[in-house]
Amino acid sequence: LCVFSSLQLVSLLLIGIAAWGIGFGLISSFRVVGVVIAVGVFLFFIALVGLIGAVKHHQVLLFFYMIILLLVFIVQFSVSCACLALNEEQQSELLEVGWSNTNSARTDIERNLNCCGFRVFYPNETCAADCLRTLHCRPCAPIMEEYAGMVLRFVGGIGLFFSFTEILGVWLTYRYRNQKDPRANPSAFI
């Protein structure tokens, strides 16, 4: 049951972080927040399926929980390893692609980091930062690169930790699923 609660903890953590980002005005992109909340709700329902399957000793629910948890483990382990494996050049390329493809994230970054432009700010561009009033704005790329490595290591480490609790959950579910139901008729297993 502790594995089910760890998955519920991860799901509630995702939902809480998304709500916190919106509440403090750090993120205004509904698409990003919507995806994070959707993943959190999905994980919560998967944990609920596993919990109900364990309490009722329902073989089919436990099987589907085990398969979905294995798939979540594979995705989460892969993303965590990718976060930990990115070097500075790859991080910079990833930041530049993200910068050029999203206007709402660009506005959030400029407002929160008080910077304008990615590498160079041109006066005819728009900028949401307060530093534009003084006309002394730093470009955003060096500031983002400073935080990117730290954030990727943190996210990769946390993801790796929880991915190992998920593989433990798969193993425990497999073991529990193959046990006899103590409430069942003992003569039914002979």
pLDDT at position 181 is 60
Q: Read off the amino acid at residue 14.
A: L
pLDDT band at 54 (very low <50, low <70, confident <90, very high): confident
35 pLDDT higher than 80: no
What is the rounded distance in angstroms from the CA atom of residue 84 to the CA atom of residue 49? Answer: 31
pLDDT at position 190 is 45
Q: What is the CA angle 129-137-141, rounded to 5? A: 90
pLDDT in tens, 8-34: 777 777 777 766 665 555 555 566 667
pLDDT band at 180 (very low <50, low <70, confident <90, very high): low
- Its pTM stands at 0.69
pLDDT band at 36 (very low <50, low <70, confident <90, very high): confident
pLDDT at position 51 is 82
State the DSSP code for 111: H
46 pLDDT higher than 80: yes
Kindly provide the b/e burial profile for residues 158-187, where b requires at least 16 CB atoms within 10 angstroms of the residue's own CB: ebbebbeebbebbebbeebbeeeeeeeeee
179 closest CA partner among 62, 73, 68, 66: 62
pLDDT in tens, 117-155: 777 777 677 777 777 677 677 888 888 888 888 888 888
Q: Residues 148, 149, 153, 154: is their CA dihedral positive or negative?
A: negative
166 closest CA partner among 28, 64, 83, 70: 70
Query: Within 13 Å and on the Cβ side, how many CA atoms surround 162?
Result: 22
